[in-house]
Amino acid sequence: MSMNADDLIEFLQPHFPEALIQAANQGNKFDLRVVDASFEGKRIVQRQQAIYALVNEKIAAGDIHALNIQALTPSEWEAQQAG
């Protein structure tokens, strides 16, 4: 079964219950943004690893071919919005 952006958001939301999660896809290539306070104090690589750990089975199954992750803290997201 192929995934879409809504499926990915639905899959991740329980793992990040307070997060703003946005996703877009073209086929099985996904752009993902997760804004969550749990990322405070973590390096970008650590944040991405936390998300990859959850979606690894989807990648292995071929549901997700490519995943571009933007993992931000709420303050980083606000700063980006103010841009």
Q: What CATH number did the domain enclosing 55 receive?
A: 3.30.300.90
Instruction: Provide the number of structural domains found in the chain.
Output: 1
Residue 11 resides in a domain = yes
> Is pLDDT of 1 > 70?
no
CA separation for the pair 29, 31 (Å, rounded): 7
Residue 83 resides in a domain = no
Q: Which domain holds residue 70?
A: 5-74
Alpha-helix runs per DSSP H in 32-72: 44-60
- The per-residue pLDDT for 83 is 79
Residue 30 resides in a domain = yes
Q: What is the CA radius of gyration of the chain?
A: 13
Residue 79 resides in a domain = no
Please state whether the predicted TM-score (pTM) of the whole model is above 0.75: yes
Q: What is the pLDDT of residues 55-77, one digit of tens each?
A: 999 999 999 999 999 999 999 99
- How do beta strands 66-72 and 29-35 pair? parallel
Residue 80 resides in a domain = no
Q: Which of 20, 9, 23 is nearest to 54 (CA)?
A: 9
CA separation for the pair 50, 53 (Å, rounded): 5
Q: What is the pLDDT of residues 23-48, one digit of tens each?
A: 999 999 999 999 999 999 999 999 99
